[in-house]
Structure 1
Amino acid sequence: QAELQDIRPLRIGILNIMPLGEQYEFNILHPLGLSVLQLEPVWIRLESHHYKSWPENHVQDVYVTYEEATRDQHLDGLILTGAPVETIHFDEVHYWREISEILHDARESIPSTLGLCWAGFAMAYMEGIDKFNYDRKLFGVFELENLDLSHPITGELDDVFWCPQSRHAGLADDVMESAKEAGILKLLAYGKDPGYTIFATSDDRFIAHTGHPEYNATRLAFEAKRDLDDPEVEPPENFDFDNPKNRWRSHRNNFFMQWIRYCYLSISTSDMSNGESLRNRGRVDLEPEILE
């Protein structure tokens, strides 16, 4: 039917910097594939990062650079995955300059960019909000409260839902609330231990989820078993890795479907028919002023 109507698929860029990223790909593709809309996933790699835990041929054969992904056609949405660098200051992450330049361009030219886990922190940082490191890793499956049933991303989510968290850093509640009062952020979901986990920039061009809604139970169980000998990591809360059960599947599916729908609705009919880019929006400062 889409071919008869001459509707092109949505081009969704996926900038994957996860460890063992080839195994991780299905975690992203599965919820995206549930959308009724046709999608074309575009796998993107960083030029400044060495994918040491990946099969080298896979990176070269399947992935393209951001410049290559956007050279001839624009992206209708962009997903930036997490990375195990949340305890390192952004300026000390060896690929931060490239990430910040990509986010800068995405803010101007892509309808919506979704940041997961560390990428959500990166989005907050570009808005002037820095993360802080935990004494202990936040690990397990945690309950979150939906704070905005009128927002296009969270409007169809449950009032309360569960989501995996696997991170060593967070965002201070008072700083996030000050950013909301200043009109910098929209706060969309909150949990007692995870804090403000889902939020958006004021223009909704950046959507951040500092959890891992995309994880399946197998991925979370793998991380739990991997960290068994790490004295700094306690066993996951609300999750039995010997008998893993997925209690966040509906949240995962609804969250990604709502985001894809938002990308689609952000594109006008003329954009969908002729592939023209959106108008440039406000620029993002690559060296933001950090809020206190």
Structure 2
Amino acid sequence: MITFAVDIKILVKKMPLNLPDKLPAIELLKEENIFVIDNSRASQQDIRPLKIVILNLMPIKITTETDLIRLLSNTPLQLEVLFMKLKSHTSKNTPIEHMMTFYEDFENMKNEKYDGMIITGAPVEQMDYQDVTYWDEITEIFDWARTHVTSTLYICWAAQAGLYHYYGVPKYPLDKKMFGVFNHTPENLLNPIFRGFDDVFYVPHSRHTEIRREDILKVPELEILSESDEAGVYLVMGRNGREFFVTGHSEYSPLTLDEEYKRDLAKGLDIQIPCNYYRDNNPDNEPLVRWRGHANLLFANWLNYFVYQETPFNIDDIK
């Protein structure tokens, strides 16, 4: 249990997220009245921040940074957010100046320990794992996280890859893309990750592959926490909360599925309208956003119950 001798009123008032100076997400989120601070201001606060590292594998990195920071900001905890990149892969869709300014190679971070880690999805899900050019490096990071991070959140492809690497859980191709917003149910509302959840909640999905319930049930170390009748397994927990595998995209902004749909149409791909997303299922209409409440609770509960309350005060004691 980690405790800080700090007046909770001060924490709630400030709701600080400690981010690298001049990160584009800072100005974008200030426009949404989300309070973030840069390193300069954070250094004046006498609180040990939780160190959260994000391995961002998504092609449009600035968008993903902003989506994740938006959700991480919904807590009175002070967080120091850092960004990790792979040495074996060069991003083609993000300016090299941005990567050099805000991201560090895993090689330069692997001697540090972190309270929490988020590993995003990646546009490689239709490839065999061993055919992914950075498979060796990312599996090294997976193994490193087990001894250097209190709790890790694996999203979409990273969730599938982590389940395969650690537990041998296979993925399967889908006949058509799982694309849209689907309702889900919690398996055990007493699990702290569901604190404040309703009996039914919504999550966006955007993937060509799936993992299956029967394979996960063969692994006693894993617990299925949430499923969807349409989208299948959504949330799986390992090692009593030190690992969470999330197959959907609760972090998506309201327009992300719209942008993906129009991008694929422009490429001439055979893409269906995202299910349960546009009002009246008409792509000429605005999206109906039904997942923000769940998304904020998911990240806040993860940070509170599985990072903040489990990490040692001395970060070097993480094992």
Residue 218 of structure 1 aligns to which amino acid in structure 2? L
- Counterpart of 1:192 in structure 2 is 229
Equivalent of residue 26 in structure 1, options 53, 66, 71: 66
CA offset at residue 4 of structure 1? 9.6
Extract unaligned runs of 5+ from structure 2.
Answer: 1-9, 12-42
Q: How does 1:31-70 map to 2 (within 5 A)?
A: 31-70=71-110
Work out the CA distance in 2 between the residues paired with 1:193 and 1:85.
23
Is the CA contact 1:176–1:196 (under 8 Å) kept in the aligned structure 2? Answer: no
Measured on the aligned residues, the alpha-carbon RMSD in Å equals 1.8
Extract unaligned runs of 5+ from structure 1.
Answer: 280-292
Residue 220 of structure 1 aligns to which amino acid in structure 2? L
Work out the CA distance in 2 between the residues paired with 1:88 and 1:195.
21
CA offset at residue 276 of structure 1? 1.9
TM-score by length of 1: 0.88
Work out the CA distance in 2 between the residues paired with 1:215 and 1:265.
27
1:223 aligns with 2:260: yes
Is the CA contact 1:43–1:64 (under 8 Å) kept in the aligned structure 2? Answer: yes
CA offset at residue 245 of structure 1? 2.6
Residue 168 of structure 1 aligns to which amino acid in structure 2? H
1:244 aligns with 2:287: yes
- Counterpart of 2:5 in structure 1 is none
More relative contact order, 1 or 2 (CA 8 Å, 6+ apart): 1
Residue 135 of structure 2 aligns to which amino acid in structure 1? W
The DSSP-based 3-state class of the residue aligned with 1:87 is coil
- Counterpart of 2:37 in structure 1 is none
Work out the CA distance in 1 between the residues paired with 2:142 and 2:209.
21
1:87 aligns with 2:129: no
- CA spacing shift, 1:40–1:5, aligned 2, 3 Å: closer
> How many residue pairs were aligned?
271
TM-score by length of 2: 0.81
- Counterpart of 1:283 in structure 2 is none
Q: How does 1:178-217 map to 2 (within 5 A)?
A: 178-179=218-219, 183-217=220-254
The DSSP-based 3-state class of the residue aligned with 1:137 is strand
CA offset at residue 5 of structure 1? 8.9
Is the CA contact 1:109–1:277 (under 8 Å) kept in the aligned structure 2? Answer: no
- Counterpart of 2:271 in structure 1 is 233
Is the CA contact 1:199–1:207 (under 8 Å) kept in the aligned structure 2? Answer: yes
1:258 aligns with 2:301: yes
- CA spacing shift, 1:255–1:136, aligned 2, 3 Å: same
Residue 181 of structure 2 aligns to which amino acid in structure 1? V
Moved over 3 A (4+): 1-6, 229-232
1:124 aligns with 2:167: no
Is the CA contact 1:141–1:237 (under 8 Å) kept in the aligned structure 2? Answer: yes
Is the CA contact 1:42–1:69 (under 8 Å) kept in the aligned structure 2? Answer: no
CA deviations on 1:114-137 (whole Å, 9 max, x unpaired) are 011101101210211010111110
CA deviations on 1:116-172 (whole Å, 9 max, x unpaired) are 110110121021101011111000000011111122222432221000000000012
CA offset at residue 232 of structure 1? 3.4
Q: How does 1:100-115 map to 2 (within 5 A)?
A: 100-115=139-154
1:267 aligns with 2:318: no
Residue 224 of structure 1 aligns to which amino acid in structure 2? Y
